[in-house]
Copies of this chain bind each other. A is one copy, B any other.
Amino acid sequence: METTETQVDVLVSEVGPRDGLQSISRSMPTEAKHRWIAALADAGLREIEVGSFVSPKLLPQMADADEVVREALKIPGLTVLALVPNLKGAERAHSAGAHKVTMPVSASRAHSMANVRMSPEEAVEEVRRVSQFRYSLPPGRRPSVEVGISTAFGCAIEGQVPEDRVFRIVGMLLEAGADSVGLSDTAGCANPVQVRRMFQQLRREAGDKAGAAHFHNTRGQGLANVVAALDAGVRTLDASQGGIGGCPYAPGATGNIVTEDLVFLLEAMGLKTGIDLERLISARTIIQEALPGQPIYGCVAAAGLPTGFVYASGKAVIPQPGAPALL
């Protein structure tokens, strides 16, 4: 990977190796995960959620999380994230050396029970335990603790989720010691008006602990919601290469927003991501080779970059003869 000192305007946090792969019943071989994560980092991604420390009986696709974290740590400049549902997972993630752990806390009680077999309040208590555990570690080795509030914009089981319930949980999480709290559209039902309003309120209530926006493209609204989140000041966005992933407990809610299409949006809007779209698109072949037949999505990869495309940095794409898909 070329390390670059350039600041980015928006941090694109890649969740494919965790959120994507855990929603596919087959397991990607560990060696392919290593290559995929390296290729993503080589394309310029600076933060990757590489695995989940859950029971391998529950999610055998994530059984190699330790090994994947350790390998990813060798990539200079990459922030390595792991999902952990509880203290036990956080201890494993810490042993492996993850820079950050991310914990799911659902605003919907029904979704919370289905997803992590805990009530929202119990999930908040797990965040408190993980946060306290973190402070028991030597200062240089403390993973930061991020939370994404699942079903923050609505739930496939419960339907509409009252916003005051979401912000009550935001308050509880900050009090419990979370370093950042983001909002996730698990069921793919958010709209830009709601997104703008809720991220504005999140910023008012959480200040610099206001975290990432995590959108699903279930109903094709993902990038429309990104535009609203950017307006509200959000500067960290989750996405998944090829749009793989979703939530097995939110029926029909397959598909994170596609990293390639998000990066195109941001760069075209003049927001630097530090990511090279042509290298990023090339990395898709690793998924296709390691998981033959797995559907992957994305319009930019299909249509290629527009004639005369210029990155936010000012770098122009030089049309390459023989590469029509990228012209």
Contacts and interface: CB of A to CB of B under 8 A. Distances in A.
B223 A298 contact: no
Contacts of A270: 193
Interface string A216-229: 01111101101110
Interface in A275-327: 298-300, 302-304, 306-310
A137 interface: no
A219 B154 contact: no
Contact of A223 (B223, B252, B300, B302): B223
A36 to B, nearest CB: 22
Nearest to A188: B303
Task: Work out how many copies of this chain go into the complex.
Answer: 2
A268 interface: yes
Interface string A199-241: 0000000000000000001111101101110000000000000
Nearest to A223: B224
Interface stretch (A37-45, A99-107, A157-165): A157-165
A159 B219 contact: no
Contacts of A10: none
A252 to B, nearest CB: 5
Given A221-B223, A224-B223, A304 B252 contact: yes
What is the size category of the interface that chain A forms with chain B? 35 or more
Interface string A178-191: 00000000011101
Given A306-B189, A307-B159, A299 B218 contact: yes
A192 B267 CA distance: 11
A302 B302 CA distance: 20
Interface of A: 154-160, 187-189, 191-194, 217-221, 223-224, 226-228, 252-253, 258, 261, 264-265, 268-270, 298-300, 302-304, 306-310
Query: Closest 5 CB pairs between A and B?
Result: A159-B308, A220-B299, A191-B268, A189-B306, A223-B224
